Structure formats: C-alpha cells, structure tokens
C-alpha cells in the first residue's frame, strides 16, 4: 500500500554537492554485500537527487559503451518516514511530465524502489523507514535510459541521506539490481547515469568500469530525436541474433576501439564515423522503428558527423560540434520520421553530462 507523501515543513535547500567520486577504473563483484557493518545514522531528514538521461551502445558498443546527456533526467526525493516500517521503503508518489500508470508504486516492481532497497541493504539500514517520490522527466521505452535514471537517482538519494557511505561501484551494483529486473543485466545506462561522461564496461564478471575522459574545452552536442513510438528494451533485445559471423565481429570490435580512441582524443569526426558503423545490432533494430533508416540518412545529409539508435530506441542520436547546426540536423530528422515513418517526433540538442547523478537538495537533521 502506498503511503501519502508529506512535504517537509522546512523547504529543501539547493545544494552544490555532486556525486562524482570516481576513479578512472572501478572493479567490483556481482554480489550485493552489506558494505557498512555499523548502521549509519541519517544526516538529512530529506534529500532530492537527479540522474541524467543516457545514450547506450553508441553504435558498435552494444552493452559495453554509454554516455550521459545533460539537461534531461529523473528526480527522486527520499525522506525519513516514521510511518514506514523500519528497514523498508515506500513509494508515495510518481509524478512529472512522463509519469505513467504503467509504473508500479510497489517498490519491489519499480526501478527506483529496487535500487533503493539494494542501497539500503548495502548500508545495513534496519532502524528507520523511508518514503520515496519519483519525478519522471524521461519517457518510458525511449532509448534514453529512463529506468536507469530512476534507479541512479534513487540509489544516490538513499546513500546521501545516510551520509554518502557507499562508493560509486556500489551504487552501480544497486542500479544493476534494478536494470536486471526491468530490462536486463547491462550497465551501459546505469554506469554513465551515476558516473557521468563516457563509460566503458570492460567486464561484467567481475564488474569493471572505465571512465573515458572527453577533453575539456571540446564542444560535443547530441541531437536527440524521439518519435511517438515505444520500443520496449526487452522486445528490442529479443530481435538480436544469437550468433554472429567472424567478419562482423572483427568489424564491430575495430569500430568500438576507434570510438574509444576518438572520445579520448576529442575527435568528433572519428567518433561520428564509428558511431554510425554498427553491423550487428542496428541492422536488426532499425527496421523495427518506422523510418529509422531514412532518419539516419537525413542526419548525415544535413551534416551530422554520425548517427545511430540510442540504446534500444526509438530515439535516434546524431553528433555534431555546433548547437545551431544541431538544431538544423534535428529538423531534418524530424521531417524524415514524419515522411518515411509516419511518426511525429521531437528534436533536442544537448551537451554531454560530465557529472552524473547528484544531490540537488537536502534538509539536515536537527
């Protein structure tokens, strides 16, 4: 049963705290151990966190490359709630532009709730109950890491309300618990949602994450065009081949390597070429999204350095180095979705989010 959300009497103050405690390489095991042997005391009565949208795969990097996108994402508010049983969490409300009746308030069946529970387990929380509100800024099934944004924001919020005891790797594992139940065990959304920037998943067993530093001072814009069409991740994953030939394997590996090198060098032309080069996943998914193949061609004709499907789709993502040119590319892509796919679409031009999930508001304990 959902418990009513009561806003704290004291207004939430905006905090500059950024959740960006990350080394270049992060290694951890699959399991969710209790990290803190002593249960931490809450340092806030309530917190509000934000986690950004993400672009997974980036063309040839299926399940092992992703990046965070600035200006889009989900918010999660968590507060200490005496009416909730100690050691448990209740989802009191789901709201926002993209709130949906499809989202359950049962924390065992909600991506934010699952990640929050996993974080509480790691922190060994037994003495207090929590109430959570999810504000959806991302549409479901959009290819922009909607479930990962909710999970990342929830994990960070729970961690910070108890003083930020967990490391980034722990929060990624908590988010993976959620992703595994919602869309599959893949970290190419949840890792960049928490860490920000570009992230390479080097290994899943054990989990090993590498932060790829895109050079400061280099301009990078993502043209995100989202059609009015839902592409559930599980359905889009089911369309993928069980086996691939050696030539395609070699090609995709070389292009993924080129993409990583281009990110580190700040080479947007090389990044775009690699982004557009997938021969394994995109050819199977593009026909399932009306107009996608022509949208990609339209983006390239309009001057994009590269274009591919964002995550499982249906959003198309193109890259460019100029915001105004990005807007023109977006218009061409929207027109192609309308003409070739008979779909309405919305275009946005966004920068890389270098920060990842962070605390944006808090009320300290008295």
pLDDT digits (tens, 9 = 90+) for 303-327: 999 999 999 999 999 999 999 999 9
- Asked whether residue 126 falls in the same domain as residue 260, the answer is no
- Asked whether residue 194 falls in the same domain as residue 298, the answer is no
- Asked whether residue 6 falls in the same domain as residue 138, the answer is yes
Are the beta carbons of 130 and 89 closer than 8 angstroms?
yes
Q: What is the pTM of this model?
A: 0.89
State how many domains the chain has: 2
Structure token pair of residue 21: 């405690």
Confidence (pLDDT) at 2: 34
Residue with tokens 């965070």: 68
Residue 216 appears among annotated catalytic residues: no
- Asked whether residue 34 falls in the same domain as residue 170, the answer is yes
Residues above pLDDT 70, as percent of the chain: 89
Residue 135 appears among annotated catalytic residues: no
Structure token pair of residue 317: 């993502």
Euclidean distance between CA atoms 300 and 212, whole angstroms: 26
What are the beta bridge partners of residue 78? 47, 132
Cα dihedral 41, 43, 48, 50 sign: negative
**Mean pLDDT score across all residues of the chain:** 89
- Asked whether residue 75 falls in the same domain as residue 155, the answer is yes
Euclidean distance between CA atoms 65 and 67, whole angstroms: 7
Q: Which is nearest to 115 in space by CA: 98, 134, 99? A: 134
Q: Which is nearest to 13 in space by CA: 35, 36, 38, 44? A: 44
- Asked whether residue 178 falls in the same domain as residue 245, the answer is no
Structure token pair of residue 274: 């690699």
- Asked whether residue 77 falls in the same domain as residue 181, the answer is yes
Structure token pair of residue 303: 């001057």
Euclidean distance between CA atoms 344 and 157, whole angstroms: 35
- Asked whether residue 244 falls in the same domain as residue 309, the answer is yes
Are the beta carbons of 154 and 190 closer than 8 angstroms?
no
- Asked whether residue 170 falls in the same domain as residue 283, the answer is no
Q: What is the DSSP string of 129-179?
A: -EEEEEE--S-TTSSS-HHHHHHHHHHHHHHHHTTS-S-HHHHHHHHHHHH
Euclidean distance between CA atoms 346 and 72, whole angstroms: 14
Tell me the CATH number at 90: 3.30.230.10
Number of neighbouring beta carbons within 10 Å of residue 327: 15
Tell me the CATH number at 286: 3.30.70.890
Catalytic member of 54, 179, 282, 308:
179
pLDDT tens digits, residue range 15-51? 334 444 444 555 444 456 666 678 999 999 999 999 9
User: Which range of residues forms the domain containing residue 167?
Assistant: 2-212+354-364
pLDDT tens digits, residue range 123-177? 999 999 999 999 999 988 889 999 999 999 999 999 999 999 999 999 999 999 9
pLDDT band, residue 216 (cuts 50/70/90): very high
- Asked whether residue 314 falls in the same domain as residue 344, the answer is yes
Catalytic member of 233, 282, 308, 315:
233
pLDDT tens digits, residue range 72-85? 999 999 999 999 99
- Asked whether residue 229 falls in the same domain as residue 290, the answer is yes
- Asked whether residue 286 falls in the same domain as residue 206, the answer is no
């Amino acid at each position: 049963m959902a418990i009513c959300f009561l806003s704290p009497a004291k207004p939430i103050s905006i905090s500059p705290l950024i959740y960006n405690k990350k080394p270049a390489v992060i290694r951890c095991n699959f399991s969710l151990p209790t990290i803190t042997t002593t249960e931490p005391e809450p340092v806030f009565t309530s917190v509000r966190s934000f986690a950004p949208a993400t672009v997974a795969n980036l063309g040839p990097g299926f399940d092992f490359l992703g990046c965070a996108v600035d200006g889009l994402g989900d918010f999660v508010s968590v507060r200490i709630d005496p009416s909730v049983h100690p050691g448990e969490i209740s989802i009191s409300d789901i709201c926002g532009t993209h709130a949906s009746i499809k989202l359950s308030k049962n924390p065992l069946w909600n991506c934010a709730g699952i990640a929050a529970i996993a974080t509480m387990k790691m922190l060994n929380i037994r003495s207090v109950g929590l109430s959570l509100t999810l504000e959806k800024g991302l549409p479901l099934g959009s290819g922009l890491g909607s479930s990962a944004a909710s999970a990342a924001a929830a994990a960070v919020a729970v961690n910070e309300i108890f003083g930020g005891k967990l490391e980034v790797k722990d929060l990624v594992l908590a988010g993976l618990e959620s992703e595994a139940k919602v869309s599959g065990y893949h970290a190419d959304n949840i890792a960049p949602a928490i860490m920000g920037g570009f992230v390479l998943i080097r290994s899943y067993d054990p989990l090993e994450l590498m932060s790829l530093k895109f050079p400061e001072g280099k301009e990078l814009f993502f043209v995100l065009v989202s059609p009015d069409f839902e592409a559930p991740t599980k359905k889009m994953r089911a369309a993928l081949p069980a086996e691939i030939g050696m030539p395609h394997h070699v090609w995709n590996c070389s292009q993924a390597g080129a993409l990583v090198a281009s990110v580190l060098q700040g080479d947007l032309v090389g990044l775009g070429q690699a982004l557009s080069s997938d021969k394994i996943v995109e050819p199977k998914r593009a026909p399932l999204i009306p107009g996608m193949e022509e949208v990609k061609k339209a983006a390239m004709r309009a001057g994009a350095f590269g274009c591919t499907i964002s995550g499982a789709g249906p959003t198309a993502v193109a890259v460019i180095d100029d915001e105004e040119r990005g807007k023109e590319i977006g218009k061409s892509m929207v027109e192609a979705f309308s003409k070739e796919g008979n779909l309405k679409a919305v275009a946005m031009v966004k920068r890389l989010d270098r920060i990842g999930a962070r605390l944006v508001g808090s009320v300290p304990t008295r």
